[in-house]
Amino acid sequence: MIYFWGAKKQRLCTIALTVTIVFTITACSDCTETVDGGTFYTANSIEELERLLIDLPYNTRDNPYTILLNVNDLTGNRMSYNNRNKFIKLDLSGSTISSVSKFDFAGWSGLISVTLPDSITSIEERAFYDCTNLIGVTIPNSVTSIGNETFSYCTSLTGVTIPNSVTSIGDETFSYCTSLTGVTIPNGVISIGAGAFHDCANLTGVTISNSVSNIGNYAFSHCSNLTAINVNGNNIEYSSVDGILYNKDKTSLIIYPGGKIGTFTIPNSVTSIGVGAFAGCADLTDIIIPNSVTGIGHSAFSFCTSLTGLTIPDSVTGIGSGVFSNCTRLANITIPDSVTIIGDRAFFNCSSLIGVTIPNSVTIIGSSAFSYCTSFASVTIPNSVTSIGHSAFRDCSSLTSITIPASVEIIDNYAFHDCNNLTRVTFGGTIPSDNFSSYYPFPGDLRDKFYETDSANGTPGTYITKNPGEWKTVWVLQ
């Protein structure tokens, strides 16, 4: 017996088989209708939708199927990979669902557009994540929240209208929507999450309403064509000047649009530069930081790939995590003697940085602080430094010599690993063996030679090698 179920109504047909039967399943006539010359398909359950998509032949993006899905629950909405590749416009306006849940439509590469019903109040985390062909979505006024990464990686989404009912936009909600060109944040939105529009490469302008009171870190970072963030003058938390986002009294610079070019002088009113404030400003060639600035947030200037030089004022006391990471053209940097900490990844992959003078005020060099600074020819570590972090100078392939002062008490894993042109290392003092990592801190057997005659504290002096970069680099105490 074969049991065959219809697409719109459950119909059971029993067929007695006495010979071999060959048949082809086609889209059922009961689930189609024609309105104004267009063909619509109707499904009244997730199961019917699945069967309908099985029946329908593969199509092109320019000729999508329009499907009216009338359900009160999206539970079990996990279409097979092949069915998700068929191009469709999905109309849920006749459904009575209250939310689109996590992953409900994630990865539907064939989804072209979605119309959501008025019954819906929330669109949850990653609901439409990685719908790479989604061009448009209609969000009703009933929706109050849009979750984290809801439309992330919807790379074909060109525009979205956020209704006034929405009060919160989650973290990375529209991140990597690389076709999105403009956004208006309506009255009603209170919170814009971290990275909400991160890496929206074609976003040119953003308008922020007076209701917004919280904007997360990196909300509009790495938007390479963004030239203006405009804030409603009645907003009590934020302001904008020349398209640059500040707090209300302009003491904190929050976001500098990534599409601006040339040079920029930070106003004297600014005391702090926000997390990722200039991140991804690839065409910014020069930045002047005034003495009024006392704090620089982590990754503040990361990926400023046209920045060639910078002077940090002596009002700054620390260089935080990733502040200048991936500034690949940064050749010169002046660090004042007010700085006490060089944070993790502070100058990571600054591949044009020739050298740097670390002032006597610095006590800690963080993990990966100068790793992959491949043009780094020389560095002086001052007597104030007590700790050299994990991978601090890893893969500084142009570094030929280094002096470790007597003040250093800790050398962590991979600190100078893959510095394959390093031929001379001077230790100014002893280091307790428990504080000197045994996990590839230097190329070759340098650590072993350091503790060869004093296994507890090591032997100060200058060590050289004549076979740098080889698998078994051998060091000799002079």
Convert 20-44 to b/e letters by CB count within 10 Å (16 or more is b).
Answer: eeeeeeebbeebeeeeeeeebbbbb
Instruction: Pick the more confident residue, 153 or 2.
Output: 153
pLDDT at 245: 98
pLDDT, tens digit, 9 for 90 and up, residues 434-478: 999 999 999 999 999 999 999 999 999 999 999 998 878 999 999
Q: What percent of the chain stands above pLDDT 70?
A: 90
Distance from C-alpha of 74 to C-alpha of 120, rounded to nearest angstrom: 12
Of 25, 85, 86, 88, the closest CA to residue 55 belongs to: 25
pLDDT, tens digit, 9 for 90 and up, residues 26-78: 444 455 554 444 578 999 988 888 889 898 999 999 999 999 999 988 876 66
| Other residues' Cβ atoms within 10 Å of the Cβ of residue 288 | 11
Name the one residue in this structure whose structure tokens are 């448009």. Answer: 136
pLDDT, tens digit, 9 for 90 and up, residues 277-299: 999 999 999 999 999 999 999 99
pLDDT at 79: 64
Name the one residue in this structure whose structure tokens are 């002079």. Answer: 478
pLDDT tier, 2 (very low <50, low <70, confident <90, very high otherwise): very low
Least confident of 124-128, 339-343, 378-382: 378-382
Of 398, 317, 310, 385, the closest CA to residue 347 belongs to: 310
pLDDT, tens digit, 9 for 90 and up, residues 139-180: 999 999 999 999 999 999 998 889 999 999 999 999 999 999
Residue 146 exposure: Cα atoms within 13 Å on the Cβ side: 35
Distance from C-alpha of 193 to C-alpha of 125, rounded to nearest angstrom: 12
Cβ-contact 381, 401 below 8 angstroms: no
The yes-or-no verdict on residue 324 having pLDDT over 80 is: yes
Exposed/middle/buried for residue 2 (C-beta within 10 Å: 0-12, 13-18, 19+): exposed
Enumerate residues 6+ apart whose C-beta is below 8 A from 194. 171, 172, 216, 217, 218, 219
Enumerate residues 6+ apart whose C-beta is below 8 A from 78. none
Cβ-contact 144, 166 below 8 angstroms: yes
The yes-or-no verdict on residue 6 having pLDDT over 50 is: no
The average pLDDT across 94-104 equals 90
pLDDT, tens digit, 9 for 90 and up, residues 394-449: 999 999 999 999 999 999 999 999 999 999 999 999 999 999 999 999 999 999 99
Angle 127-56-84 from CA coordinates, rounded to 5°: 25
pLDDT at 196: 97
The average pLDDT across 238-248 equals 98
The yes-or-no verdict on residue 19 having pLDDT over 60 is: no
Distance from C-alpha of 268 to C-alpha of 315, rounded to nearest angstrom: 12
Exposed/middle/buried for residue 95 (C-beta within 10 Å: 0-12, 13-18, 19+): buried
Of 475, 324, 348, the closest CA to residue 401 belongs to: 475
pLDDT at 380: 86
pLDDT, tens digit, 9 for 90 and up, residues 339-366: 999 999 999 999 999 988 899 999 999 9
**The model scores a pTM over 0.85:** yes
pLDDT at 22: 36
- Measured in whole angstroms, the distance separating CA 194 from the mean position of its chain's CA atoms is 10
| Mean pLDDT score across all residues of the chain | 90
Cβ-contact 208, 186 below 8 angstroms: no
- Per the CATH hierarchy, to which homologous superfamily does domain 261-399 belong? Ribonuclease Inhibitor (3.80.10.10)
The yes-or-no verdict on residue 12 having pLDDT over 50 is: no
pLDDT at 24: 36
Convert 61-78 to b/e letters by CB count within 10 Å (16 or more is b).
Answer: eeebbbbbbbbeebeebe
Distance from C-alpha of 246 to C-alpha of 230, rounded to nearest angstrom: 10
Beta bridge partners of 296: 273
Long-range contacts of 405-410 (CB under 8 A, 24+ apart): 405/381, 405/429, 406/430, 406/460, 407/382, 407/383, 408/381, 409/435, 410/386, 410/435, 410/436
Taking the domains of the chain in order of start, what are their residue ranges? 261-399, 400-408+418-478
| Other residues' Cβ atoms within 10 Å of the Cβ of residue 321 | 21
In degrees rounded to 5, what are phi and psi of residue 446? -60, -45
